[in-house]
Amino acid sequence: MRKFRALVRLELLEFFSKYRTGMGYGATKRGRGLLVFTLLLLGIPFINMSIEAYQRFWGWGRPELGVAYMTMMAYLLLTFTAIPLLFSLYLHSRDFQFLTPLPIPTDDLVLAKLVVVWLYLTGINFVFLFPVALLVGLDAGLSVWSFLFSLLLIVVTPFPPLFLSSLAVLGLSNRRANRNRKSLLSLFFAFALLGLVLAAQLLLTNEGAARLVAWTERLTRLYPPAGWSAQVANGSLLGLLKYGALSFLCYWGLKRTVRKLYWSALLFSGTRSARRPVTFDYRLRKKSWQLLRRHLLLIMKQPVFLMNTILSLILPGLVFLIGILSGDLAAETLLLPNEQKRLLLFWLGLASTPALLTNLSATAISREGKAFWETRVLPVATWTNLRARIGTTILVNLAFSLLVTVVFFLYFPLEKLALLPGLFFVMMLTIFLAMTDLVINIYRPYLHWTNPAAAIKNNLNVLFSLAYRPLLAVIPFLSAVCFPGAGVYGILFYSGLLLFLLTLLVRKVLRTIMVEKFDQISG
C-alpha cells in the first residue's frame, strides 16, 4: 500500500505540476497557492450553473429534475474531459518506461493513474453536481443521510463516464493514426467541452419550462441512472443501491480496459509501425513560402499555440453570438434600417478583434524556442526571416477578419459601400499591429522554455502588446477632428491612411534597427 500511495503521489505531482507550469506559476508555496486559487475561480461558473439548475427546476415545481438534468450534463462533461486525459496519461505517458521495470504490481501502476483522473473528475463533480444535489436534499429536509448520500453520489458518478471514455480511448488507440493526432484530439474535446458548457447554460436560460421539463423527463426515462441520482439526492437508499451497483460495475469494467490501455501503451512505445513505401515531393519552393509555412505549422502543430490562437480569434464572435442567443443583444433591433451605424460598429469591432487580440507577432520569435537557431544559419536575409513572421500574423488574422465579414454581410443588412473603407481600415490595422508587435518580441525574446504556454501566455510581451492598443483610439479621433465633414466612411478611410503611414514608419524601423537587433539574439 505504501508503494501505491507513493505512486499516486508521484502521478498527482506530475499532473498538477503540468497545470502549474502551464499557468506560469513557480514550484513554490505561492505558486501552489495560486494554482488552487485559480482552480477555485474556475469552479465559480460551474457552481453558479448548478445553483441555477436547482432554481429553474424548483421554480417549475420539479427540483429533483434539476439533479437528473445536471447528472446527464455531468456524464457528458466528465466523458469529454476524461478522453483526452486518458489518452495523455496512458497512451502518451513516458513514465511507464521507467515505472514498469520497478518492482510494483502492474495493477498498482495502472490504478495510480486512474486515481488521478478520478480525483480530477470528482473535483469537477463537486462544483457541477454537488450544489444542486445538496439543495435538493435541503428541500427534502436535510438529514445526515441525505448529505452523506449526496457526497457518495459525487464520488461514484465519475465511474460510468470514465468507463465509457476508456472504451472510446481503447477503440481509438487501435488506430495508429489517431495516436499520432493527440493534439487534434485534445483540441476537438476542448472545444466539445466548451460547446457543451455553453449549450447547458443556454438550455437552462432560454428553453421554455414545459419543454425543458418534458425533455429532461424523457431522457431520464431513457437513461435511468439520472433518475436514480435524483433519488439519491432525496435520500433514497434504493436509489443509492441501484446507482452504487452501476458504478461498481463500471469500475470493474474500467479496471480491465485501462489495463489493456497500459499494455497497448507499452507495445506502442516499444515498436515502430510497419513503414509503407511513400512517394515524396521534391519540388523546389520559394524561400519565403517555406518560411511562412514553417511559422504557420509552428502554430498549428503545437496544441497550446493552436488553442490559444483559435480561442482569441473566436472569443469576441462567441460573445456576440451568445449575446444574440441569450437575448441580451436583440438581433431584431440590429436589423432596423436606422441601426446601420451601430451595425457597422459591430462589424468593425468583430473584424478588428483578430488584429487587436491575436497578437501572434508578439510571440513570433519566442514560439520557436530552442529551434530558433535553424533559420539563422541558413542563407536567408534577416528581413526575409522577419517578413515571414509578420506575414504569418497577417495571414491568420486577416483570414479570420474576412470570414467574420462574409458571415456578417450574409446575416445583417449592412451597406455594401461600407466594405471598401471598412476592409481598408481593418487591413491596415492588422498589418500595423503585426509589425509593431514584432518589435516587442525582438527586444524581449524568450527561447529557453520547456512548457509552450510560457512562450505565449506567461511573458510580458503579450501584456505590453495589449497595453498600447487603447492608444490606437487616437487615430479615428484625429481623423474625425481633422476631417469633420468626412462622414463615417471617410473617417474610416482616413484612419486607414494614417495607419498606412505609421506602418511605413514601423517598417523602416524594422528594416534598419530591428534587423540588427534580431541578429544579436543568441539562440
Cβ proximity of 54 and 485 under 8 Å = no
Q: How far is the CB of 91 from another protein (least distance, A)?
A: 14
Q: How far is the CB of 20 from another protein (least distance, A)?
A: 24
Q: Which is nearer to another protein, 98 or 337 (CB)?
A: 98
Residue ranges in 171-190 that form contacts with another protein under rule CB under 8 A: 180
Q: How far is the CB of 307 from another protein (least distance, A)?
A: 15
Q: Which is nearer to another protein, 168 or 296 (CB)?
A: 296
Q: How far is the CB of 26 from another protein (least distance, A)?
A: 24
Task: Give the one residue of 376, 444, 469, 507 binding another protein; rule: CB under 8 A.
Answer: 376
Q: Which is nearer to another protein, 373 or 477 (CB)?
A: 373
Task: Give the one residue of 368, 405, 426, 456 binding another protein; rule: CB under 8 A.
Answer: 368
Q: Which is nearer to another protein, 271 or 338 (CB)?
A: 271
Alpha helices in 104-207 (DSSP H): 106-128, 130-139, 144-156, 159-173, 176-179, 182-206
- Report which of 135, 168, 176 is spatially closest to residue 48, judged by C-alpha positions: 135
Determine if 98 is a binding residue for another protein (CB under 8 A): no
Cβ proximity of 269 and 96 under 8 Å = yes
Q: How far is the CB of 384 from another protein (least distance, A)?
A: 9
Rounded Cα gap, residues 226 and 71, in angstroms? 6
- Report which of 104, 86, 124 is spatially closest to residue 257, judged by C-alpha positions: 86
Instruction: Lay out the site mask for another protein across 249-288 (x = CB under 8 A, - = otherwise).
Output: -----------------------x--xx-x-xxxxxxxx-
Q: How far is the CB of 179 from another protein (least distance, A)?
A: 10
* 3-class SS shares of the chain: helix, strand, coil, % to 5: 80, 0, 20
Determine if 437 is a binding residue for another protein (CB under 8 A): no
Q: Residues in contact with another protein, total (CB under 8 A)?
A: 37
Burial of 55 (0-12, 13-18, 19+ CB in 10 A): middle
Rounded Cα gap, residues 110 and 262, in angstroms? 7
Instruction: Lay out the site mask for another protein across 326-365 (x = CB under 8 A, - = otherwise).
Output: ----------------------------------------
Task: Give the one residue of 381, 467, 474, 513 binding another protein; rule: CB under 8 A.
Answer: 381
Determine if 370 is a binding residue for another protein (CB under 8 A): yes
- Report which of 364, 173, 341, 355 is spatially closest to residue 263, judged by C-alpha positions: 173
Determine if 13 is a binding residue for another protein (CB under 8 A): no
Cell numbers that stand for 439 in this block = 518589435
Rounded Cα gap, residues 187 and 289, in angstroms? 27
Cβ-based neighbour number of residue 172 at 10 Å: 17
Determine if 374 is a binding residue for another protein (CB under 8 A): yes
Choose the binding region for another protein from 125-133, 327-335, 369-377, 472-480 (rule: CB under 8 A): 369-377
Cβ proximity of 158 and 121 under 8 Å = yes
Q: Which is nearer to another protein, 2 or 276 (CB)?
A: 276
End-to-end CA distance of the chain: 48
Choose the binding region for another protein from 7-15, 158-166, 226-234, 376-384 (rule: CB under 8 A): 376-384
Q: What is the DSSP string of 365-411?
A: TGGGGGGGHHHHTSS--HHHHHHHHHHHHHHHHHHHHHHHHHHHHHH
Rounded Cα gap, residues 515 and 380, in angstroms? 12
Q: Which is nearer to another protein, 266 or 324 (CB)?
A: 266
Which spans of this chain sit near another protein (rule: CB under 8 A)?
A: 180, 272, 275-276, 278, 280-287, 290, 294, 297-298, 301-302, 368-371, 373-382, 519-520, 522-523
